[in-house]
Amino acid sequence: MLDKAELGRRVKLERLARGMTLKQVADSSGMSPTHISEIERGRTSPTVGALLRIARALKKPATYFVEEELLPSVSVVRKHERAHHVITEGGQTVAGADFLTTGIPAGRLRVVELSDFERGPLATRPHGGEEILLVEAGTLKVIVGGDEFELGAGDCIQFRASMPHRVEKLGGDSVRALWVTASDGVIAP
């Protein structure tokens, strides 16, 4: 959980980056300059309503001030900087995953490139939002709810992520796919 000192530091840095005085933020937010100063110095925590008003005055989403990791407004991930993870199910490797995005404040999208796909199923928990899977090479079986879809290179599927879903490799060819998640809530980095 982010502490009030860090939250205050972020408010102050954003105010200064915009060239605004305490009075200008106070006038725009309907709060007193003293209260905003107390927040900036980490002496008090703003209520949710106060944080929303300050965020509006600074033209930032409120989540920018409370996310654990301070994320950039624009995120660029170079090929050599991608975070690589090995996905396992039941102790067995299922696929490799390269995270193509790191996230932005209040971000709701995540793009992952799947590769080195083994035969076993890759199941994810249902959640809010939607998902898109684009097969770049190989063949996958995607099960959404009770329906099965066979997808080859160039095929794409989109579905509500609240439905149970899993992915399995078909055939012996190597598989590469892009998996895009659009969440109803903020996606943690």
CA atoms lying within 13 Å on the CB side of residue 100: 12
Query: Among the ranges 1-5, 89-93, 111-115, which has the highest mean pLDDT value?
Result: 111-115
Tokens of residue 43, six digits: 């002496």
Express each pLDDT in 14-62 by its tens digit: 899 899 999 999 999 999 999 999 999 999 999 999 999 999 999 988 8
Task: State the alpha helices, DSSP H only, in the chain.
Answer: 4-17, 22-29, 33-40, 48-57, 63-66
Q: 176 falls in which pLDDT band (50, 70, 90)?
A: very high
Mean pLDDT over 72-98 rounds to 82
Whether 79-182 and 4-66 are alike in CATH topology: the answer is: no
Strands 92-99 and 83-89: antiparallel
Question: Worst-scoring range by mean pLDDT, 32-46, 80-94, 126-140?
Answer: 80-94
Output the pLDDT for position 189.
Answer: 41
Residues near 47 by Cβ (< 8 Å), separated by ≥ 6?
none
pLDDT over 50 at 138, yes or no:
yes
Express each pLDDT in 107-127 by its tens digit: 778 899 988 777 667 877 788
Residues near 20 by Cβ (< 8 Å), separated by ≥ 6?
57, 58
Q: Does CATH place domain 79-182 in 2.60.120.10?
A: yes
Taking the CB of residue 12, how many other CB atoms lie within 10 A of it?
A: 18
Q: Where are the domains of the chain?
A: 4-66, 79-182
- 121 burial (CB, 10 Å; 0-12 / 13-18 / 19+) is middle
Which class does domain 4-66 fall in? mainly alpha
How far from chain centre, in Å, is Cα 141?
26
